[in-house]
Structure 1
Amino acid sequence: MDRRRFLAAGAAAGLAGLSGCLDGLGSQGGVGGANRALQLVLSSEATPLRSGYVVDLSETERPDDERAFAATLDGETVTTQHRRPFGSRPDDPVYTRHEGTYYRLGAVVVDEATVTHPVLRLSAVGEAGGSDVPEATPADDLNRVDRKVVHVAHMAARARGNEGGVPWGLVQRGGYVYRDAETVETSRLLDEDAPSHVTYRETVYAVEVSHETFHEPVYRATVAPVAETPERMEAILRAKFVDARLSGADLSTAARSILRDAREGYEETHPYSEAYRTVLSGLHARAYLDGNIEKDAYVEDPGIGVVLYDGTYYRYRLRFLDRE
């Protein structure tokens, strides 16, 4: 899992945990009850930030990144459909270094394309080996591409009617969307004589394929120089990604101890100790001080961010936990 997926997953987890803890605050006397603890977790972030945010385009998961960068740098127009160039996002840009200069890589939407893609969905019909289930092809007997298709589509089928989510970066429209020509050409599940049922993890699934219309953005790759030195690049990354800064020299022994313990997870119930309140204030998490963030009219974030502590960067996460 790369850094961007990790942060996305962490944000989702933080929001989910925060949502769950808020559900019962109204009936808990405003502070969540005596058994509700606020947990702080610190985990390592790349230090310096350049080592995690500045990428080598020859080593990314997208083989076209290096060519797109070189072409755009030469003044050519490079466009992609549906997927943003370089894997960048508006809130999480990609940076690279070329001949001593650091560049920010991104994209702008310049058009819309209307296209048709096959969509494969699965629906469970029974357990494998059952007397009332139709004959099915084992997923292990399919080729590599189709095994991936079935795996993704099964996650969508499994989630229907159950609590929990699915990886929306993979699952789309409740199944697997064939977006590239190579996958369409390789997949036997799109053939006229494709199996009508497949077996995956002891469950028999009916296979349904439809051709659907998609309206996809067309992106133009952008390349902008931002820094000529490592120090300036580090300053740019700090300004964009660091939410708080702490110095051990300004903290009490108890507060420093909390930050040390937080690498394994530190928690307290309300009312919090003075040292914990100091740490929360230093993280600019004052919305948590009264034990009930519902009292605040505006909460900017769900309790996640990056802190620079005595020259080292950490990701921090705050969440409520119910303890028996």
Structure 2
Amino acid sequence: MSFAVIVTAFFLMFLFCNLLIYSDKVTNILYYVGMTLVVFSAFNILFKLRNKKNFIIFASFFIVTILFSLRAYQLFIVLLIILSFISDYKIFAGYNNQKNRIIRKRDLVYSWFIWKNFSHSCYSYERLMGMAFAHSMKNIFKRLYSDRDTVRKAIHSHTEFFNTEPNMGTPIHGYIISLEEERKLKNESFEEGNISYIKKSMMGIAAGLGDSFTQVVLTPLYISMSLMLCLDGSYYLSLLPVALLALNIILISYKGFMKGYYYGRDSLMERIKAVKNSKIKKYFPFMFSAILGSTMGNLLYPAVVENILTKIIIILVILLTFIVQTKRFPGPNSNL
């Protein structure tokens, strides 16, 4: 089946290449279809943000980019300066190594490393991340117990259903490790205590929290900056936003893991408050609108200046998007 898909893909690729070579009409049709989809997607995003300020920011940067040839790297530098002032440092805050128990710092680091790399490696509808969670606890239990049968039972106890956002939810892992360590120090059996209930009660909160920040704010922000730089020809510089995104995610994951171990459930509550009051989350729509305006300006500049048909298409698509979005989201409380 896979071989058939690959063969079909190559056949269609060569077919379309030949069509593009021998037919200017096909090229023009694909060009205008692509142009329509790009404009529709951009304004669909703006309408979903549902704020007049976003349209003003988008239009301003679109016009400035076309009239004054605003370069993407210039806007990128401005955005980095803004991010340095509004960054939520509590999310990345460190911790004090105050515990002196069985679990060592390197045990925690190794457990975090396993979770970071294998959190999505063994999915099933029955357990989701449960197997990955158990895998990340393997070296912890080997440190706590010397008996192989006990280690096996301990690991198996964490193969149950588990699902959360893998980076913002790491305080859960650290906290569970500290609870397992306390259980060992108190010589409790695996049937005693309520570690399983604690883990399940925390995972839902962290899942919603993480998705609303890492997936909805951080990733679109940095990836859009990278795309903006690519369209402006700054290919090497476009790697920087991707690297910054990766660094942010790693720091969020690592710091949360460690703080969960040292501070317990309070670390997750602190993270929830930090995300709720996040200035990056608050100002993200405005920064994204500026990036979108600059990107569209660089992308459409030649077509807008040289081709009247492109101008007509842009106007028609904007009107169509407005009509569709108005019908989908009617109401007196709309900001549009």
TM normalised by structure 2 equals 0.19
Query: Which structure shows the higher strand fraction?
Result: 1
TM-score by length of 1: 0.19
